[in-house]
Chain A
Amino acid sequence: MKLDSKIPDGPLAEKWTNYKASQDLVNPANKRKIDIIVVGTGLAGAGAAASLGELGFNVKIFCIQDSPRRAHSIAAQGGINATKNYPNDGDSIYRLFYDTVKGGDYRAREANVYRLAEVSSNIIDQCVAQGVPFARDYGGLLDNRSFGGAQVSRTFYARGQTGQQLLLGAYGALSKEIHKGSVELFTRREMLDLVVIDGKARGIITRNLINGKLEKYFGHAVVIATGGYGNAFFLSTMAMTSNGSAAWQVYKKGAFFGNPNFTQIHPTCIPVHGDYQSKLTLMSESLRNDGRIWVPKNKEDAEKIQKGELKPGGIKEEDRDYYLERRYPAFGNLVPRDVASRAAKERCDAGYGVGSTGLAVYLDFADAIKRLGKNVIEARYGNLFQMYEKIVDENPYETPMMIYPAIHYTMGGIWVDYELQTTIPGLFAAGEANFSDHGANRLGASALMQGLSDGYFVLPYTLQNYLADQIQVARIPTDHPEFEKTEKEITERQEKLMAVKGSQSVDGIHKKLGRIMWEYVGMGRNQEGLEKAIGMIRELRAEFWKDVRIPGRIDELNIELDKAMRVADFLELGELMAKDALDRKESCGGHFREEYQTPEGEALRDDENFTFVSAWEYQGDDKEPILHKEPLIYENIEVKQRDYK
C-alpha cells in the first residue's frame, strides 16, 4: 500500500481554500440518510459531532465516562493559541505556522500545520459566541498572554481552566444537538473494535461498562477522537481511563500508526511521591513565566536536601544553579518543554536533584514576589499554588515549589492524510488521537487549538468529501457477518483473559510496563536500552497472558476486566513505541537519542535521513510491522537547527 497524504495543489496559503472550493458535498436530503460514529467527547469529538449534527447528519457519539463533559480535554490549564494579533505584536498565520513547525522540530506536515494556523482565529470567534468566558481587559476586549516560549502573545485563556471552558463550550454545542435529536449520546461505553466491511470502516463494537454487554453500531463513517496513549507509561498527567485501545484496534485492522514514539514530557509536574501513586499532576507551564528554576550548585548541598538536613532557603544565592538561564540565556526558563525536561533530568541524574527522592528541581517565585508583590502572583497563579499546597503540604509563597517532568501528551498517533482520513477508507482520526500537526514536539496551548480545529472546521468538510459517494449505501444491519465475526473475536479475547486466573493484578503489571517505558523509552533513549525494553515488554506481555488475575465475570460491571483489556493493548503498543524510537536514529523534539547529540548535549537531528513520518503497518501478532515513510517536504520554511540559546 502506498501512502498518499493527499495534500492539495497550489500555494500553501491557498490549499485549504482550494480544497473547500472543489471538494464534494452531500446535499441536505441525503445527509439524513447518513450515519456517522464519533468515538470520544473531548474537544475534537464533541466539536465534530456537534458540527456534523448541525449539518443534518445522524451522529452517534460515545464516551467512556458518565458524561461527555468529563473528557480529558477538560484538564488543560494554560490556554489556546490563535493568530488574532489583537496585541499588535506582529503575529500572523505564517508566524504561528512557522513556530509550530519549528517547535515540532521539522517533523510535521507543512500543509496540515498551515491549515491549523489558518483556522485558529475562527476557533476563538466560535468559542466566544458560545459564551466561553475568556480573560478580558478593562476595555472589555480579549486578553492574551505569551506562552511556552512564543515571542508573541497569542494565547487566549480562561484563568487556569482553559480546557475546561472550551470543553464546556463544545459540550454545550453537543448538548444542543442531542436535544434536537441529530446526535445520539452513549455514555459509559468503551470501543473495543472497529468493523470493516469490504475494506471500509462501517461500525464499531463497544462494551457497555455498566452491564458488560457488547453492543454493535453501524456508521457510514467512523471518527476516532479518543485522545493520546500516554498511560502506556502508567504514570502520566492523563486521566485514569485515558487509553490507547481504540487507536490500537484500528491499527490492527489496517490503519497505519504514525510516529508512535513521539511523546511529550512536560517539565512542570509535581514529583512522584510513592509506589502507590496513581497519576501525576501538572502545574501549568505558565508558572515558568515568573518562576525561576534551579538546583544547588554543590552536590553536597543537594545530598543534604535529599536527606532533609537542609532547606532550600539555607542555600545562598551564589550556591544556586539556575541551569536553564545559564544554558539558554536567550529563552531562559521559557525554553520549549522538551528542552526544559531534559535539562531537569540531566541535573537530577548528575546528582543535583532535590526532594527526598532527588528527582525534583526547584521552581522559585521569591524574585517574582519581590518584584511584583504577592498580590500579583496570587492573582496570576493563586489556584495553582493552592492546588500545590493541597497535594504537597508546602506553601509555595514561602518555599520554592518542587517540580519534575512527566508524560503529558503523545504527538504520535493514527496516521491520517490531509483530510484526517486514515489508511482505512471511511475511518478518520482527530485531535490527539491522530499524529498530524505537532511533529516531534507540541508547543504549549496548541493541543486545544488542534482538537477544536479538527472538530469544528476540518472534519465537517473532509468527511463530506468522503461521504458524497456513500449516499447510495444503505444502512448495514448489525447482524452482518462482519459484525458477528468481530463481536465473536472480542468475546473470545475477553474469555481468554478471564481464563488466565493468575496471581498478579492488572495494575501491578501496568506499573511494571510503566517502569520499563519510563526508564528506556522516556526522556533519554539509546539503542541498547531500547533493544532491552523490547525484550522486556515481550516478556511482560507473556507474563500478563499467563499470570493476570481478574475477579468477577464478563457480563457485569467489571473494572478489572476493563483495565485488563487496555493494558493488553498497551503491552503491544509499548513495543511499537520502542521499535519506532529504535528505528529513528536521530534526536528530534521529544525524541532524544543519546547517541545523537551535539558536544553541548543538545538534540542532533539528521535531516538528510530522517525527514519523514514513520507510518507503521500491522502484519500480525507475531510478525514485524512494516515501516512506510512519508517524506516531509518543506517548501515554505527554511529547515534550521532549533536554537534557544
Chain B
Amino acid sequence: MDLTLKIWRQENAQARGKFETYKVTGISEDASFLEMLDILNESMVDKVQLPIAFDHDCREGICGMCSLYINGRPHGPDQGITVCQMHMRNFKDGSTIVIEPWRAKPFPVIKDLMIDRSAFDLIIQAGGYVSVHTGGVPDANSIPIKKEHAELAMDAAACIGCGACVATCKNASAMLFVSAKVSQMALLPQGKIEAARRVQKMVAEMDDLGFGNCTNTYACEAECPKDIKISNIARMNWQFLIAKVGAQKMNA
C-alpha cells in the first residue's frame, strides 16, 4: 500500500506544532499501524532526521500507552481495539491518513504525538483503591461475591487507562475512566466500605485537574477500546449522590 500521512509535529510542550506530510510506500496490509509508523521512522533515521515521537509499549492492546487520533478518531476507525492492534488492512491503498496527539487540557502534548496523562494517576492516587495494607487480610473465600457482581466489576476493571474517553469527549470529561474504577470497587464488598469517601475524593480530583463534565453524548463508550459501559457513569453518579446525602445526614 502507498499512503500519504499528515502527522502532527511539535518540538516540545511550549512550541507551536504543525502538520507535516509524509509518504510511505509498499506497506503490507498485514502490518500493524504502529509498524507502519516504525517504517516511516526508519526512513527518517536514514535521512538523519529525528523520528516521530509516539507512545507505545506492549503492542498487544493491554498496557494503554498508545494514544493517537487517526482521521479524527481515538485509536482509529475500528471498534474495540487500541492503535497497536489495528492493522493496515483497515485502510485503502492510496489514501491520506491524518495522525494527531490526543487533545485535552489535562493531557498536554510532550512532543509530536506523545502526551502527558499523569492526571489519570493523580485521580487514582486520590482514592482509586481499597485501603488495605500488605498482610493481615482475611482468607480469600471468606468474602463470597455474587458471580454477577464479580463479572460487572471485571467489566469495569478492564479499563486500560488510555484516555480515549477523554480524547473523544467534546468536554474532555474523564467520567468514564473515573466511573470504571468507582464501579469496580463499589460492586465488591471489599470496596464498599470506603465507597463514599472514594467517589468524593476521585471526583474532586478529576474536577481540580480540569476535566470537563459529562453531557451524555455516549462518545466515550463508542470509542473505548475495552467496551467500558456508560452505565458505570450512572453508577458513579448514584454513588456520589448517596455519599452526599450520607454526609448531610451525618452533619444534621
Residue pair B57, A140 in contact (C-beta under 8 Å): no
Residue from A131, A136, A179, A241 within 8 A of B130 (CB atoms) = A131
Assembly CA distance A237 to B63 (angstroms): 13
Shortest Cβ distance from A456 into B: residue: B134
Residue pair B128, A175 in contact (C-beta under 8 Å): yes
Given contacts A66-B55, A274-B30, contact A172 B124 (CB under 8 A): yes
Given contacts A130-B129, A137-B147, A390-B87, contact A65 B60 (CB under 8 A): no
Assembly CA distance A51 to B132 (angstroms): 10
Main secondary structure on chain B at its contact with chain A?
loop
Given contacts A86-B141, A551-B45, A560-B45, contact A72 B63 (CB under 8 A): yes
Residue pair A278, B128 in contact (C-beta under 8 Å): no
Residue from A140, A273, A387 within 8 A of B147 (CB atoms) = A140
> B44 — which chain A residues lie within 8 A by C-beta?
551
Q: Which residues of chain B from 118 to 157 have any CB-CB distance to chain A below 8 Å in the complex?
A: 118, 120-121, 124-135, 137-141, 143-147, 150, 153-154, 157
Answer whether residue A486 sits at the interface, using C-beta atoms and an 8 A cutoff: no
Q: A520-549 CB contact bits vs B (8 Å, 1 = yes)?
A: 000000000000000000000000000001
> A51 — which chain B residues lie within 8 A by C-beta?
133-134
Answer whether residue B64 sits at the interface, using C-beta atoms and an 8 A cutoff: yes
Answer whether residue A199 sits at the interface, using C-beta atoms and an 8 A cutoff: no
Answer whether residue A21 sits at the interface, using C-beta atoms and an 8 A cutoff: no
Q: Min CB distance, A547 to chain B, in Å?
A: 13
Answer whether residue B35 sits at the interface, using C-beta atoms and an 8 A cutoff: yes
Q: Min CB distance, A37 to chain B, in Å?
A: 19
Assembly CA distance A210 to B38 (angstroms): 20
Interface size class of B (residues with CB under 8 A): 35 or more
Residue pair A133, B157 in contact (C-beta under 8 Å): yes
Assembly CA distance A131 to B48 (angstroms): 49
Shortest Cβ distance from B85 into A: residue: A390
Residue pair A138, B147 in contact (C-beta under 8 Å): yes
Assembly CA distance A68 to B128 (angstroms): 14
Q: Min CB distance, A386 to chain B, in Å?
A: 8
Residue pair B141, A142 in contact (C-beta under 8 Å): yes
Residue pair A278, B59 in contact (C-beta under 8 Å): yes
Answer whether residue B172 sits at the interface, using C-beta atoms and an 8 A cutoff: no
Q: Which residues of chain A from 485 to 542 have any CB-CB distance to chain B below 8 Å in the complex?
A: 505-508
Q: B4-24 CB contact bits vs A (8 Å, 1 = yes)?
A: 000000001000000000000
Residue pair B57, A133 in contact (C-beta under 8 Å): no
Assembly CA distance A19 to B97 (angstroms): 61
Q: Min CB distance, A147 to chain B, in Å?
A: 18
Most chain-B Cβ atoms within 10 A of its Cβ — which of A142, A161, A240, A558? A240
Assembly CA distance A51 to B135 (angstroms): 9
Answer whether residue A81 sits at the interface, using C-beta atoms and an 8 A cutoff: no
Q: Min CB distance, B90 to chain A, in Å?
A: 10
Q: Min CB distance, B71 to chain A, in Å?
A: 18
Number of interface residues of A (CB under 8 A): 82
Instruction: Give the segment of A100-108, A119-127, A576-584 that binds chain B.
Output: A119-127
Assembly CA distance A122 to B157 (angstroms): 22
> A187 — which chain B residues lie within 8 A by C-beta?
118, 121
Assembly CA distance A135 to B144 (angstroms): 12
Answer whether residue A225 sits at the interface, using C-beta atoms and an 8 A cutoff: no
> B116 — which chain A residues lie within 8 A by C-beta?
66
Residue pair B64, A54 in contact (C-beta under 8 Å): no
Assembly CA distance A278 to B185 (angstroms): 36
Q: Which residues of chain A from 150 to 191 have any CB-CB distance to chain B below 8 Å in the complex?
A: 158-159, 161, 163-165, 168, 171-173, 175-176, 178-179, 185, 187
Given contacts A70-B64, A239-B59, contact A168 B130 (CB under 8 A): no
Residue pair A178, B125 in contact (C-beta under 8 Å): yes
Answer whether residue A84 sits at the interface, using C-beta atoms and an 8 A cutoff: yes
Answer whether residue B237 sits at the interface, using C-beta atoms and an 8 A cutoff: no
Assembly CA distance A67 to B65 (angstroms): 9
Answer whether residue B72 sits at the interface, using C-beta atoms and an 8 A cutoff: no
Residue pair A176, B63 in contact (C-beta under 8 Å): no
Answer whether residue B231 sits at the interface, using C-beta atoms and an 8 A cutoff: no
Answer whether residue A413 sits at the interface, using C-beta atoms and an 8 A cutoff: no
Residue pair A141, B144 in contact (C-beta under 8 Å): yes
Assembly CA distance A168 to B159 (angstroms): 10
Residue pair A133, B140 in contact (C-beta under 8 Å): no
Residue pair A282, B87 in contact (C-beta under 8 Å): no
> A67 — which chain B residues lie within 8 A by C-beta?
64, 117-118, 120-121, 161
Assembly CA distance A507 to B184 (angstroms): 41
Residue pair A279, B59 in contact (C-beta under 8 Å): yes
Assembly CA distance A318 to B225 (angstroms): 42
Residue pair B129, A72 in contact (C-beta under 8 Å): no
> A47 — which chain B residues lie within 8 A by C-beta?
134
Assembly CA distance A138 to B149 (angstroms): 11
Assembly CA distance A508 to B46 (angstroms): 11
Residue pair B157, A168 in contact (C-beta under 8 Å): yes
> A161 — which chain B residues lie within 8 A by C-beta?
62, 158
Assembly CA distance A127 to B157 (angstroms): 14
Shortest Cβ distance from A161 into B: residue: B158
Most chain-B Cβ atoms within 10 A of its Cβ — which of A72, A125, A187, A210? A125
12 inter-chain pairs at a CB distance below 8 angstroms, sorted by A residue, are: A51-B134, A74-B62, A126-B132, A131-B153, A133-B188, A135-B150, A136-B145, A140-B150, A240-B57, A391-B85, A456-B134, A457-B135
- Residues of B at the A interface (CB closer than 8 Å) are 12, 28, 30-32, 34-35, 38-39, 42, 44-46, 48-51, 53, 55-65, 78, 80-81, 85-87, 89, 110-111, 114, 116-118, 120-121, 124-135, 137-141, 143-147, 150, 153-154, 157-158, 160-161, 184-185, 188, 190-191
List 5 extra interface pairs beyond A67-B117, A559-B51, CB under 8 A. Answer: A65-B65, A126-B132, A130-B129, A133-B184, A165-B154
